[in-house]
Structure 1
Amino acid sequence: MTNQPSRVSPWLTDVLFAIGVALAVAIVVAADLAGADRDGIGPYLFALGFGLLILLRRRFPLLVLIATVLGIFVYYALGYPAIGISLPAAAAIYSAAEAAMAREAVAGGVVLVTVAAYFRITEGLSGTYLVSYEFLTNVALIAAAVALGVNVRMRREARAQQERLNALTAAHHARAAERQVQEQRMNLARDLHDIVGHTMSVISVHSNVAAEAIGKDDDAASRAVAQIRSTTSHTMRELRSVVKVLRSPEETLVGIAGIVGLDGIAELAESAREAGINVETDIAVPEGALSGTIEAAAYRLVQESLTNAIRHSGGDRAWVSAAVEGQVLVVKIADNGRAKAPDPAPGRQDDAPVNQDAGAGGPGSGHGIAGMRERVALLGGYLTAAPAENGGFEVKAQLPTRLLL
């Protein structure tokens, strides 16, 4: 883990800054041997005052700038040794610029340079010397202080902006991860619903057959028990794959697709035939034309539809077809059950459980069509489930042959 660099306390920074300003001014005062009052304490008190003002620069930057400018004027009015104007004022000008007061900082510098130039001219200083040396030196130092303050402020704001962006990015990733977990939970719930629902329907039918055949037709009872054993064995394999996903964080739901696909529709049809529904299949999908996730989704659609047909349709025939049309997989499941056109109440969705005798896609548990519709929508397709024109019920789904990333 990378250690974050420790930051120096702002208060400590200001204390060191104040000491530096006071010492710099005091050294200049002490070096001016020609000063009329070089042995007095007054200039050093001003040096101390300029330093103490720096301690207030974060809370009152404009006040510090004004006080410093006025302090310089008072200092020279008292006839103390020359210390220049840029040295004591540079820190205050920098602080104002750093506090987003660049215009005020520039104005303070202009006032200092203008007043200083005026008095130097009235004192008889050569204009050439004033412009070529002192004036340019003062302007350069003040401009550097303003530029440095603005640069520090911009870097601080850029850093703060980057931190905000990092926080927003982290929050976005957290929400995306939460949505992904929720989608996986919903997919697992749909898979469990399809697996358990189909299995229980087949077991229910064959257990009834076995119960009625015991003592009358032992061969029929044995076949029914064998069908129950085969169905439960297949279901246990699917449930183990779901449990594997739950136990392994690195696994995804695509891993479940490895055990189900269009090849398994034949077994679903056989289970339905054993349960009394004669299923005809027409699977015209070239090998490799579909991604594993799409194949798994198509299998689940057929599984849920046949389960509903066994449980609710009351019919004895069903038709399953799957074909690729361009880049679209079209899956149809229909039966000849007793489905009738639903007459939903206002606000009720067309997949609400209004008819408990619906067929292949008909509502039975109240979750079948809703789950199929959600599954198809997540994969970028759409599904219709309604009574067929010639009777019975029909489910039709259109899915992309491959997921678009």
Structure 2
Amino acid sequence: MDRRTPWLVDALLGLAVTGSLAAVISSRQGGTHGPDALAYLWAAGLGALMFARRTHPRAVLLVTALGLFAYYAADYPAVGIAVPVAAALFSAAEAGRLTESIGAAAGVLAVSLLYRLLEGQDVAFVLGYDLVPHVALMAAAIALGDGLRSRRRQRAQQRELAALTAREERLAIARDLHDSIGHTISVISLHADVAREALGPSSEGAEVALRRIKDATSDTMRELRRTVGLLRADEPLSLTALDPVLDAARSAGFDVYADIAVAPGTLSPSVDVAAYRIVQEAVTNVVRHASGASRVDVVATVTAGRLRLTISDDGPPSGGRGTGHGLAGMAERAAAVHGSLDARHEPCGFIVTLEAPA
């Protein structure tokens, strides 16, 4: 279920409760007091309770049961006992109030049966023919609510297991990067130093080349350590935690402006991670390739259930920001979350825009 529209589900359930009760009331079966505005208002009131079923399931259950007793005390047309309370029983069971649901169902049944038997109704009809459908409907409502809750809990457990597995995989990758690539780069840097010291004073060109190798390996080691740190991080990647990415741009001398108007938990986990990685790749491209750029802007908003993310710089239309595997990787991440990526040169600089369902 879409977490952004629970009110719509509650509204539809409330309409179903109100509509079914109004239809039964209109049939005018039993009771000495014919249906009037108050009877239909009672039906609407039970439907309106569905808007509180998630936050106050026990209160909804109690008010529904007491409202049913009050309705029959006014001697309005019969509406049964299962139909008015089925939605409340379902809601309480869905919220994990299984004991209260069963207790309320048993209490409503007991009061109804006792009243009808004391009134002199036929025992065989009340306990035989009429009791079975009420019990079946109440049991079905409770079972449906509890089953839905169980499936949600199972999915949550599966997500936790998947997150744990992903973390273990990240740690394994981090170890491999550190132990293999990190060691190799360190050896290259060490031998570059040795070779430079062994060169004579006339080998200026070779010394410059070795110095560049030394600088490149140092930069690579810094990037590698940063990547390993991200892989080892327990906190999930999120647009609300962009500081490591933005600080890297600041330390490289860029002015960074960030406006992330996205509250924590607004984005689905997959979209949140994809957006983070796209910002990371785009900012890294600016730092590495945007010759002449001095500013990076990162702006994110969520409107009508869609994320719009923009990363821009003020560099000239040159460098490798519009080509290469980095841009292709960003486009693949966008497509994986059913979004779209646009990257283009503008007179003001280079702009990367992601649009995706939140």
User: TM-score normalised by the shorter chain: which range applies?
Assistant: 0.5 to 0.7
Q: 1: CA distance between counterparts of 2:113 and 2:106?
A: 10
Q: 1: CA distance between counterparts of 2:118 and 2:179?
A: 83
Confirm whether residue 171 of structure 1 aligns to residue 163 of structure 2.
no
Residue in 1 that maps onto 2:151: 155
Confirm whether residue 103 of structure 1 aligns to residue 108 of structure 2.
no
For residues 10-49 of structure 1, give each alpha carbon's deviation from its aligned partner in whole angstroms, at most 9, with x where no partner exists: 0111011111101100000001255433242221111011
Which runs of at least 4 in structure 1 moved beyond 4 Å after TM superposition?
A: 5-8, 193-201
Q: 2: CA distance between counterparts of 1:34 and 1:82?
A: 5
Residue in 2 that maps onto 1:55: 51
Show the 5 A alignment for 1:4-23. 9-23=5-19
Residue in 1 that maps onto 2:346: none
35-44 vs 147-156, which moves further: 35-44
Answer yes or no: is the 8 Å Cα contact 2:35–2:76 preserved in 1.
no
Answer yes or no: is the 8 Å Cα contact 2:25–2:35 preserved in 1.
no
Q: TM-score, structure 2 length as denominator?
A: 0.52
Are residues 61 and 175 of structure 1, via their aligned partners in 2, closer, same or farther at CA, if it must alter by over 3 Å?
Answer: same
Partner of residue 109 from structure 2, selected from 106, 110, 113: 113
Q: Tell me how far 1:91 sits from its aligned partner.
A: 0.6
Show the 5 A alignment for 1:209-224. none
Partner of residue 75 from structure 1, selected from 71, 83, 88: 71
For residues 282-312 of structure 1, give each alpha carbon's deviation from its aligned partner in whole angstroms, at most 9, with x where no partner exists: xxxxxxxxxxxxxxxxxxxxxxxxxxxxxxx
Q: 2: CA distance between counterparts of 1:157 and 1:185?
A: 41
Q: Tell me how far 1:106 sits from its aligned partner.
A: 0.3
159-168 vs 92-101, which moves further: 159-168
Q: 2: CA distance between counterparts of 1:196 and 1:43?
A: 90
Q: 2: CA distance between counterparts of 1:143 and 1:104?
A: 13
Q: TM-score, structure 1 length as denominator?
A: 0.46
Residue in 2 that maps onto 1:181: 177
Residue in 1 that maps onto 2:37: 41
Q: 2: CA distance between counterparts of 1:54 and 1:99?
A: 13
Whichever of the two has the greater Rg, that structure is: 1
Q: 1: CA distance between counterparts of 2:190 and 2:9?
A: 67
Q: 2: CA distance between counterparts of 1:50 and 1:120?
A: 23
Q: Tell me how far 1:137 sits from its aligned partner.
A: 1.5
1:58 maps to amino acid: R
Answer yes or no: is the 8 Å Cα contact 2:93–2:145 preserved in 1.
yes
Show the 5 A alignment for 1:331-350. none
Q: Secondary structure at the match of 1:164?
A: helix
Answer yes or no: is the 8 Å Cα contact 2:96–2:146 preserved in 1.
yes
- Number of residue-to-residue matches in the alignment: 211
Give unpaired runs (5+ residues) of structure 1.
Answer: 208-231, 250-405
Answer yes or no: is the 8 Å Cα contact 2:58–2:92 preserved in 1.
yes
- Name the Cα RMSD after superposition: 3.2
Answer yes or no: is the 8 Å Cα contact 2:32–2:77 preserved in 1.
yes
Residue in 1 that maps onto 2:24: 28
Q: 2: CA distance between counterparts of 1:160 and 1:39?
A: 46
Q: 2: CA distance between counterparts of 1:199 and 1:178?
A: 30
Q: 2: CA distance between counterparts of 1:48 and 1:200?
A: 87
Q: 2: CA distance between counterparts of 1:200 and 1:174?
A: 37
Confirm whether residue 64 of structure 1 aligns to residue 60 of structure 2.
yes
Give unpaired runs (5+ residues) of structure 2.
Answer: 201-205, 225-358
2:61 maps to amino acid: L
Q: Tell me how far 1:9 sits from its aligned partner.
A: 0.7
2:146 maps to amino acid: V
Q: 2: CA distance between counterparts of 1:187 and 1:167?
A: 29
2:187 maps to amino acid: D
Q: Tell me how far 1:163 sits from its aligned partner.
A: 2.1
